[in-house]
């Protein structure tokens, strides 16, 4: 995914240095070229050999006094960088960059690079909240440097608060976003719904379905990488929010999803309804736990609004509406019927009876049909790849 891309990582001294080992390893798995520069204090936390082994490149250390060869090489590296990451970034290195101080290998290399620079701070909460540090960060943002906000939690010093280095996963997602974002959907607003809905019966029980949200989240992520402003409306799932979302709305019930969609649909250019919305909800909600009896129990269900059908009915000229059809039989025929009935532009049909497709799996097999009679089937693929295929189809469709 990052083949041919060069990531230079500047490591300054803090307990979070160990987490950067994971960042390097993740980037290598994505086939990036990774080069590491360590400050003197960073080396107190993790030995350069660890980073050398993980990056499969010599680590540039702060050795001004000993070696002059690096002096030239670090400028070459500053030029070669497609992106420069500073992690963990201490208050000290942030202060140095913000004030133009270049007195060691890392600060001089940052000064010399023209690549985008991502800074992931990690420090004690009081230091992070100190107005001097805040001002330095603001100043750097104005110069075009980007920050990956630290997490909150228990810090190494025992304090609780903001200042933990962002997770390696979040750091890598930010790098991916910076390196891979293109303009195919620049200026477009895309709304994606994902995951199941959860319809409560009483305080302990609910009706739901097997949707994992993987397809919808993959689409949201792919749309962000194509430069779109993405709103994600999600049912309860176990997936991290994609990095770079414009708007995230968490819902539980179909009614909540309906409200969130209708509140947000007007300004959207593309609406992709991959959520598995419950067609019915319990007719009544019992405030108390329903007690069992010796008899069978009948549950009365009442219809939920068909959200996609509602959008189809209220569709605006500039909008492209995409629906999903989860089918187990007569899949093309049923998908075609849904395309017409719900007045959508494109229907993504999948056969959820297959073990490699539909709910919960990482793969899917889809057929796309559009209102102009276009039809295209695809082999079994990763949902992440299919997300791109669906978006590319929409982009072509809108030309």
The reply on whether position 338 binds ligand CTP by CB under 6 A is yes
Question: What is the DSSP pairing of strand 320-327 with strand 270-273?
Answer: parallel
Look up residue 303 and give its two tokens. 């219809």
Nearer to ligand CTP, 123 or 194 (CB): 194
- Residue of 157, 180, 283, 340 marked active site: 157
Looking at 55-63, 269-277, 283-291, 363-371, which segment touches ligand CTP (CB under 6 A)? 269-277
Number of shown-chain residues binding ligand CTP (CB under 6 A): 14
Look up residue 395 and give its two tokens. 């982009």
Nearer to ligand CTP, 51 or 217 (CB): 217
Minimum CB separation of residue 224 from ligand CTP in Å reads 20
Q: Looking at residues 309 to 328 of the shown chain, list those that interact with ligand CTP (rule: CB under 6 A).
A: 323-326
Minimum CB separation of residue 295 from ligand CTP in Å reads 29
Q: Looking at residues 120 to 149 of the shown chain, list those that interact with ligand CTP (rule: CB under 6 A).
A: none
Its sign, for the CA torsion 35, 77, 149, 267, is negative
| Per-residue binding letters, 271-310, with ligand CTP (x by CB under 6 A) | --x-x-x-x------------------------x-xxx--
Question: Is 21 among the residues known to form the active site?
Answer: no
Its sign, for the CA torsion 304, 306, 307, 310, is negative
Residue/partner pairs of 205-212 with CB below 8 Å, 24 or more apart:
205/290, 207/278, 207/280, 207/281, 207/282, 208/236, 208/278, 209/276, 209/278, 209/359, 210/276, 210/359, 210/360, 211/235, 211/237, 211/275, 211/276, 211/359, 211/360, 212/237, 212/238, 212/239, 212/359, 212/360
Cα–Cα distances (Å) from 225 to 3, 146, 178, 258, 328, in that order, read 16, 17, 9, 27, 32
Q: Looking at residues 203 to 262 of the shown chain, list those that interact with ligand CTP (rule: CB under 6 A).
A: 254
Nearer to ligand CTP, 10 or 213 (CB): 213
Q: Looking at residues 76 to 95 of the shown chain, list those that interact with ligand CTP (rule: CB under 6 A).
A: none
The reply on whether position 20 binds ligand CTP by CB under 6 A is no
With contact defined as beta carbons under 8 Å apart, do 122 and 87 qualify? yes
Nearer to ligand CTP, 198 or 338 (CB): 338
With contact defined as beta carbons under 8 Å apart, do 5 and 82 qualify? yes
Nearer to ligand CTP, 38 or 307 (CB): 307
Catalytic residue annotation? 157
Q: Which residues would be at the binding site for ligand CTP (CB under 6 A)?
A: 254, 273, 275, 277, 279, 304, 306-308, 323-326, 338
């Amino acid at each position: 995914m990052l083949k041919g891309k060069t990531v230079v990582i500047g490591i300054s001294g803090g307990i979070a240095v160990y987490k950067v080992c994971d960042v390097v390893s993740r980037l290598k798995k994505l086939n990036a070229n990774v080069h590491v520069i360590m400050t003197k204090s960073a080396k107190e936390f993790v030995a350069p050999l660890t980073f050398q082994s993980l990056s499969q490149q010599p680590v540039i250390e702060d050795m001004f006094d000993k070696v002059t060869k690096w002096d030239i090489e670090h400028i070459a590296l500053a030029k070669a960088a497609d992106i420069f990451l500073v992690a963990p970034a201490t208050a000290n290195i942030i202060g140095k960059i913000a004030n133009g101080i270049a007195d060691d290998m890392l600060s001089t290399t940052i000064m010399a690079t023209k690549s985008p620079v991502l800074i992931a701070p990690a420090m004690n909460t009081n230091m992070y909240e100190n107005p001097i540090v805040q001002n330095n960060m603001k100043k750097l943002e104005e110069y075009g440097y980007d920050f990956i906000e630290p997490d909150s939690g228990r810090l190494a010093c025992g304090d609780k608060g903001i200042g933990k280095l962002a997770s390696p996963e979040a750091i890598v997602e930010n790098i991916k976003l910076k390196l891979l974002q293109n303009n195919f959907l620049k200026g477009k607003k895309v709304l994606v719904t994902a995951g199941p809905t959860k319809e409560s019966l009483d305080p302990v029980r609910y009706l739901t379905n097997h949707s994992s949200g993987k397809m919808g989240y993959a689409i949201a992520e792919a749309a962000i990488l194509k430069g779109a402003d993405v709103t994600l409306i999600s049912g309860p799932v176990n997936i991290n929010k994609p990095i770079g979302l414009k708007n995230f709305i968490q819902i539980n019930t179909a009614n909540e999803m309906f409200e969130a969609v209708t509140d947000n649909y007007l300004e959207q250019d593309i609406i992709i309804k991959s959520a598995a919305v419950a067609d019915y909800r319990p007719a009544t909600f019992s405030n108390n736990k329903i007690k069992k009896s010796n008899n069978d129990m009948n549950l009365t269900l009442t219809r939920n609004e068909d959200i996609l059908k509602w959008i189809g009915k209220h569709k605006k000229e500039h909008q492209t509406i995409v629906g999903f059809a989860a089918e187990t039989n007569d899949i093309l025929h049923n998908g075609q019927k849904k395309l017409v009935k719900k007045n959508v532009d494109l229907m993504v049909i999948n056969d959820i009876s297959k073990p490699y497709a539909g709910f919960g799996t990482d793969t899917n097999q889809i057929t796309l049909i559009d209102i102009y009679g276009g039809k295209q089937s695809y082999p079994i693929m990763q949902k992440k790849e299919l997300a791109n295929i669906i978006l590319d189809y929409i982009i072509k469709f809108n030309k």
